[in-house]
Amino acid sequence: MATILICDDEVPLRRLVVATLDGLGHTLFEAEDGGRALEEIRARRPDLVVLDVMMPGHSGLDVLAEVRADPTVAGTKVVVLTARAQHRDRDAALAAGADLFIAKPFHPHELADAVQSLLTA
């Protein structure tokens, strides 16, 4: 069983991701913005983070850069889940250290399978 942080500023999206991952047997917790996500990552040390890009304050890419620069949490798996779905957005997320990029809208099974795959890799 893993711990997973879901970070998105949109409550309905967080609820959808929680509903998607809830039956997989993992411990889920949420953050509503990038600053809170960083606090939760450092405090709880999740195994995986599902991270939106466009958020108030710290963007998802800012959070990702800070996570990758912090040796205590740098190994955390990160799935970037975003409406910014251009090739350049995908390339930027992967260059910043994302383990996986999924564009919104997404199919819940795609996210569940990706999370399970990353956690068992």
pLDDT along the chain (121 residues), means of 10: 96 95 94 96 97 91 96 97 86 94 92 94 80
Give the model's pLDDT for residue 74. Answer: 97
pTM score, whole prediction? 0.94
How far lies 100's CA from each of 57, 80, 83, in Å? 23, 6, 14
Rounded-to-integer distance, Cα 44 and Cα 60, Å: 18
Neighbouring C-beta atoms of residue 102, cutoff 10 Å: 20
Q: Could you say which architecture CATH assigns to the domain 3-120?
A: 3-Layer(aba) Sandwich (3.40)
Residues belonging to the chain:
121
Residues whose CB falls within 8 Å of the CB of residue 96, separated by 6 or more in sequence, listed in order: 61, 64, 65, 68
Give the model's pLDDT for residue 84. Answer: 80
How far lies 16's CA from each of 20, 72, 102, 113, in Å? 6, 29, 14, 15
Give the model's pLDDT for residue 109. Answer: 93
